Amino acid sequence: MNKRINEKDLLSAFTNVGDDLIEESAVKNTQRPVRYKKIRFIGNAGLSASLCLMALIVVFSSLALSSGIEKVPIQSDGSANTGNVCEDLTKVPQEESGTSSRPCDTGIAAPEQNKQTFVPPESDTIIKPGSTTEDVSTTEPGKTTEPDATKPVLTDDEAKTEVPPGSGVIVADEDTYNNTDKKSENGAFYKTAAIILSALLLLLLLFYPFSVVRDEASGTTVYKSLLCKLGKNGKNTELTFLPFIKRGKK
């Protein structure tokens, strides 16, 4: 019962608001220009394009990550050089350290007595097929050997026996060598594609007229994007940038 009385009070209170407010709302009601979104599908097309671009960016980014990352070098003994730090270098067997037959196979500079015989894994030396044993022995870390026609050819088997296992030297056959280059190229391509698509997506989101409104009273069609607003009124075209910043300043 009380609730009904309060409802009545409140509704009556609205009845007794100022006459000017009533006039204003009623007059505006009849004079208000009818606005409607003239071309709704434009917004949908923009949304679809954005989603497609996002999907492509995800695909290219993942491809770039999978093929463009630094390759894990395969060592001559067939194990992967993971680059782990050898935590306790003192554990390297003494009898092996002098001959460099079993260097620390995990990636950092070895103790002083071993340094002269180790090739630091971070500067892996790639031996092209056809290189000689001399090439291998005289090659500085980080350099690629070139075949020398005047010297005897080192076969893959010889290379495997001559190159100290775990020394960080990669014995690559021709396929592996070419494949490495190809994957690097693909990675760069995917990375570039992802960047370009990201830029396109950004442009689309900033400038695409997701909202197209026609004001029947003034005959103006307003194309609104996130960054700018374009009003076309037959003769006049008005471009306004950053409408949201203007709104924020008020």
Partner 1 sequence: MEDGEILDLFFSRSERALSETSAKYGTKLQRMAQYITGNESDAQECLNDTLFEAWRRIPPERPNCFFAYLAKIARNFSLKKWERLSAKKRSGTISEISDELMECLPDNSSDVEEIVENKRLSAAIDSFVRTLNIEQRRMFMRRYFWNEPLSVIAKSEGCSESSLKSLFHRLRLKLKEKLIKENFDL
In the complex, what is the shortest distance from the CB of residue 214 to partner 1, in angstroms, rounded to a whole number? 10
Q: How are strands ordered across the β-sheet holding 211-215?
A: 35-37, 211-215, 220-224, 228-233, 236-241
CA distance 179 to 241: 50
The smaller minimum CB distance to partner 1, of residues 25 and 84, is found at 25
The smaller minimum CB distance to partner 1, of residues 35 and 151, is found at 35
Binds partner 1 (CB under 8 A): choice among 14, 161, 237, 239: 14
Q: For residue 94, give the 3-state DSSP assignment.
A: helix
| Stretch of 4-12, 88-96, 132-140, 163-171 lying at the interface with partner 1 (CB under 8 A) | 4-12
Q: Provide the mask over 17-36, with x wherever binding to partner 1 is found by CB under 8 A and - wherever it is not.
A: xxxxxxxxxx-xx--x-xxx
Place of tokens 């080192």: 154
Tokens of 210: 């997701």
CA distance 37 to 150: 80
235 binds partner 1 (CB under 8 A): no
Using CB under 8 A as the binding rule, the residues of this chain from 192 to 221 that contact partner 1 are 213
| Stretch of 13-21, 86-94, 96-104, 189-197 lying at the interface with partner 1 (CB under 8 A) | 13-21
5 binds partner 1 (CB under 8 A): yes
Contact 85, 107 (CB under 8 A): yes
| Stretch of 8-16, 57-65, 166-174, 224-232 lying at the interface with partner 1 (CB under 8 A) | 8-16
238 binds partner 1 (CB under 8 A): no
Residues sharing a CB contact under 8 Å with residue 21, sequence separation 6 or more, in sequence order? none
Torsion sign, CA atoms 8, 13, 19, 24? negative
> How far are the Cα atoms of 25, 35, 208, 214, 235 from residue 221, in angstroms, in the given order?
26, 10, 15, 4, 12
10 binds partner 1 (CB under 8 A): yes
In the complex, what is the shortest distance from the CB of residue 40 to partner 1, in angstroms, rounded to a whole number? 12
8 binds partner 1 (CB under 8 A): yes
Contact 165, 119 (CB under 8 A): no
Residues of this chain that bind partner 1 (CB under 8 A): 2-26, 28-29, 32, 34-37, 213
